[in-house]
Amino acid sequence: MVAPAPYRSTALFDEDTLPNALRNRHNTKAGVWGLIRVIEGELKLTYVDPSSEVMLDPSRPGLILPEQVHFVTPVGAMKMRVDFYDQPPGD
């Protein structure tokens, strides 16, 4: 079985260009999954409800479920992007 392809991806962001919209509480739309892919370094992903934190790195992407409230925090130098899917993505 082939993993679905993202229908859209963000630009590549680093610790300086990461938009405030991603650093603050936000969510995906209904029917949209996000997969945060860290290319270099580390990024902290915080889920708001239920509250939890996950450290992401190039070997550990972060899955965002439809309408899930979350935000990210750079941990030093990093590069990341978000891929968006209209069905659950593979890793």
- The values of phi and psi at residue 5, to 5°, are -90, 145
Matching CATH number, 14-85, of 2.60.120.10, 3.40.50.1860, 1.20.1070.10, 4.10.220.20: 2.60.120.10
Q: How far, rounded to the nearest angstrom, does the alpha carbon of residue 30 sit from its chain's CA centroid?
A: 16
Angle value at C-alpha 5, between 85 and 2, nearest 5 degrees? 120
Whether the per-residue pLDDT at 90 is higher than 90: the answer is no
pTM of the model: 0.93
**Residue 91 near residue 6 (C-beta atoms within 8 A):** no
Q: Each residue of 27-53: pLDDT tens digit?
A: 999 999 999 999 999 999 999 988 999
